[in-house]
Amino acid sequence: MTTARPTVCPARLVPAPLGRTGTPNSAAVATTAAASLPSRGNTTPIGSIAYMLASRENRCRVYGSNRTPPLTARRSAAASSLASRAESESGMLIPPPWKRSAYRSHNRTMNHRSGRHFLQIPGPTNVPDRVLRAMAAPTIDHRGPEFARLAREVLGGVRALAGTVRPVAVFPSSGTGAWEAALVNTLSPGDKILAFETGHFAVLWAAMAAQLGLDVDLVPGDWRSGAGPERVFEKLSADAAHAIKAVTVVHNETSTGTVSRIPEIRGAMDAAAHPALLIVDAISSLGSVDYRHDEWGVDVTVWCSQKGMMLPPGLGLNAVSAKALSASRDARLPRSYWAWRPLLGAADTGLFPYTPPTNLLYGLRESLAMFGEEGLPAVFARHERHAEATRRAVRAWGLDIVCRNPAEFSSTLTAVQLPGGHDADLVREIVLDRFNASLGAGLGRLAGRVFRIGHLGDLGDLELAGTLCGVEMGLALAGVPAEQAGVRAALDYLQSASR
Ligand SMILES: Cc1ncc(COP(=O)(O)O)c(C=O)c1O
């Protein structure tokens, strides 16, 4: 097969090797791109894509640093052989935290930790007890009338969270599935898309697009800022032929705690009078911050259940504009499981095209009731308050917030950068081991240098305060030079904000 095909590496104009059918061969794409990249230290956008592609097998290990194995398991032969096998396979992996860390000062064997675990990663978040109880109901016939009523109720209710009046497609999937659904329903092989390297998730999504055979223009970023509306304007204004079919943006970059300003990006697209679709990942913002799919002119909003929606993982969602739905009629990327139409139809019929995650939908009904009781404006204000309290703590510790621009601060998580020479995974390890709280790991190029405090979902002031206490003590125990003043600053703020 010699047909010329668009490259997945537009920035470098490296032709993507083709599979036998003429579609880009993802394994070969990975190899080509990765061959020129000595390590994950390559921080060009294309380097980032190649890293993600080449290490796809090992993505679980990048995430895996969120889930530090128990101390007893850490030194097990199985764990180290898995780690070294994966390392030798990719040659560009991050050493696992339990290998890097020098923290060995206590050898307690703890089979029981009293008190509740604090799950303060930026998703999955704490699932409220009443949601868990709601999900513990018997599974019913998904083709029967009771299920149809449930499905119609929750598929109707979920629209308000996204700020849309149109049907939403709900897949039994993680967020990654919802990403794929957004792309395969709207685009055709070789279509050009404009993406922004705001952090780890933006790069992963771009890598997925490249694997699907799209021509990705990934605008470089410093992982400390959101997508710049001015860059959107420049790129689209320069595209007189309208080759760019979609702009993809991660609204709240979960790896950095940085927000991209979607209304301004929409404004830039309109100012350039460009017809590209606007596809937004609102995975770690939706349900926690004010998000308006219809009003902001977003064409596809992607999100999932395990963050602001206070549910376990398992639901991937797409809100879809009329323009996106019409694009889906001509889009030629292969799709079957991810096809929108039968799922959008479920809003009326209450029938899914395949077995739905019945018990998660019970949970969704309960979480929607909770949103109704608290009221969305109060939910958003609570997230802003907790974010501000956390940032005050970080500043009082004398540490850096990864996000540079206050206008782009995330309300759902704060990524904290440690001074050079200090290991963020050691802090996380101590906080988990001593204080039974999980913090988010630094992802991708931020691994080991950054930890993330999730403050989204079902969270009260005292839970946030407890989390910050754990961090403050963990910093001290890890020997990080930080003022012991963060908790005080956060408490002062929370107290004044509750007057
Ligand atoms: C912004 C963002 N996008 C995409 C994903 C991927 O979602 P999932 O892990 O559910 O597939 C995540 C996961 O944390 C995320 O935070």
Ligand 1 centroid from CA 153, angstroms:
26
- Reading the block at residue 165, the tokens are 């009046």
- For residue 11, the model assigns a pLDDT of 35
Are both 391 and 312 inside the same structural domain? no
* Ordered DSSP codes for 456-479: -SS--HHHHHHHHHHHHHHHHHTT
Are both 331 and 379 inside the same structural domain? no
Residue after which a domain boundary falls, among 373, 395, 428: 373
- For residue 499, the model assigns a pLDDT of 85
- For residue 112, the model assigns a pLDDT of 80
* Ligand 1 atom closest to Cα of residue 179: 4
pLDDT band of 284, cuts 50, 70, 90: very high
Q: Please check whether residue 112 lies inside any domain of the structure.
A: no
Ligand 1 centroid from CA 449, angstroms:
20
Span 102-121, mean pLDDT?
A: 73
CATH label of the domain that carries residue 236: 3.40.640.10
Pocket test for ligand 1, best of 61, 183, 201, 309 (most atoms within 8 A of CB): 201
Q: Please check whether residue 170 lies inside any domain of the structure.
A: yes
- For residue 13, the model assigns a pLDDT of 23
Better-scored residue on pLDDT, 295 or 107: 295
Are both 71 and 207 inside the same structural domain? no
- For residue 82, the model assigns a pLDDT of 26
Q: Which helix (H) or strand (E) holds 291?
A: none
Better-scored residue on pLDDT, 160 or 84: 160
The CB density around residue 7, as the number of other CB atoms within 10 Å, is 20
Cα(168)–Cα(156) distance, integer angstroms: 8
Better-scored residue on pLDDT, 56 or 64: 56
Supply the range of the domain harboring residue 384. 118-122+375-497
Indicate which residue's Cα is closest to atom 5 of ligand 1: 175
Write the pLDDT tens digit of every residue in 223-268.
Answer: 999 999 999 999 999 999 999 999 999 999 999 999 999 999 999 9
- Measured CA to CA in angstroms, residue 9 lies from 219, 224, 386 at distances of 12, 24, 41
Write the pLDDT tens digit of every residue in 355-377.
Answer: 999 999 999 999 999 999 999 99
Residue after which a domain boundary falls, among 373, 389, 416: 373
Are both 482 and 384 inside the same structural domain? yes
Phi-psi category of residue 350: left, alpha or beta, with phi > 0 → left and psi -120 to 50 → alpha: left
Question: Does pLDDT of 99 surpass 70?
Answer: no
Better-scored residue on pLDDT, 279 or 85: 279
* Ligand 1 atom closest to Cα of residue 251: 1
- For residue 52, the model assigns a pLDDT of 53
- For residue 21, the model assigns a pLDDT of 31
Are both 342 and 217 inside the same structural domain? yes
Question: Does pLDDT of 55 surpass 60?
Answer: no
Tell me the β-bridge partners of 441. Answer: 451
- For residue 377, the model assigns a pLDDT of 98
Q: Please check whether residue 99 lies inside any domain of the structure.
A: no
Better-scored residue on pLDDT, 3 or 144: 144
Question: Does pLDDT of 86 surpass 50?
Answer: no
* Ligand 1 atom closest to Cα of residue 178: 11
- Reading the block at residue 356, the tokens are 């739905």
- For residue 56, the model assigns a pLDDT of 43
Q: Work out the mean pLDDT of the chain and round it to a whole number.
A: 84
Indicate which residue's Cα is closest to atom 13 of ligand 1: 175
Are both 190 and 153 inside the same structural domain? yes
Are both 331 and 382 inside the same structural domain? no
Q: Which helix (H) or strand (E) holds 454?
A: strand 450-454
* Ligand 1 atom closest to Cα of residue 174: 10
Are both 219 and 337 inside the same structural domain? yes
Within 13 A of 274's CA, how many CA atoms are on the CB side?
A: 28
- Reading the block at residue 346, the tokens are 């479920």
Are both 53 and 164 inside the same structural domain? no
Q: Please check whether residue 411 lies inside any domain of the structure.
A: yes
- For residue 57, the model assigns a pLDDT of 39
- For residue 481, the model assigns a pLDDT of 98
- For residue 80, the model assigns a pLDDT of 38
Span 329-342, mean pLDDT?
A: 98
CATH label of the domain that carries residue 424: 3.90.1150.10
Ligand 1 centroid from CA 205, angstroms:
9
Q: Please check whether residue 113 lies inside any domain of the structure.
A: no
Query: Locate tokens 């694997």: which residue?
Result: 211
* Ordered DSSP codes for 122-134: SSS-PPPHHHHHH
Phi-psi category of residue 152: left, alpha or beta, with phi > 0 → left and psi -120 to 50 → alpha: alpha
Please count the structural domains in the chain. Answer: 3
Q: Please check whether residue 476 lies inside any domain of the structure.
A: yes
- Measured CA to CA in angstroms, residue 488 lies from 89, 374, 392, 459 at distances of 47, 28, 9, 19
Write the pLDDT tens digit of every residue in 443-460.
Answer: 999 999 999 999 999 999
Q: Please check whether residue 104 lies inside any domain of the structure.
A: no
Ligand 1 centroid from CA 301, angstroms:
13
Pocket test for ligand 1, best of 249, 254, 307 (most atoms within 8 A of CB): 254
Are both 352 and 420 inside the same structural domain? no
Question: Does pLDDT of 153 surpass 80?
Answer: yes
- For residue 50, the model assigns a pLDDT of 57
Task: Specify the amino acid at residue 158.
Answer: V
Are both 152 and 236 inside the same structural domain? yes
Residue after which a domain boundary falls, among 320, 340, 373: 373
- For residue 169, the model assigns a pLDDT of 98
Ligand 1 centroid from CA 283, angstroms:
6
Q: What is the CA radius of gyration of the chain?
A: 22
Are both 333 and 417 inside the same structural domain? no
Question: Does pLDDT of 90 surpass 50?
Answer: no
For 272, the 3-state DSSP assignment is coil
Span 83-91, mean pLDDT?
A: 33
- For residue 478, the model assigns a pLDDT of 98
Write the pLDDT tens digit of every residue in 33-54.
Answer: 333 222 333 445 555 555 555 5
Query: Locate tokens 């308050």: which residue?
Result: 385
- For residue 14, the model assigns a pLDDT of 27
Ligand 1 centroid from CA 176, angstroms:
6
From the CB of 174, is ligand 1 less than 6 Å away? Answer: yes
Pocket test for ligand 1, best of 125, 183, 284 (most atoms within 8 A of CB): 284
From the CB of 18, is ligand 1 less than 6 Å away? Answer: no
- For residue 48, the model assigns a pLDDT of 55
Q: Please check whether residue 47 lies inside any domain of the structure.
A: yes
E strands along 204-325, which residues?
215-219, 244-250, 252-253, 258-259, 277-281, 300-304, 315-320
Ligand 1 centroid from CA 108, angstroms:
34
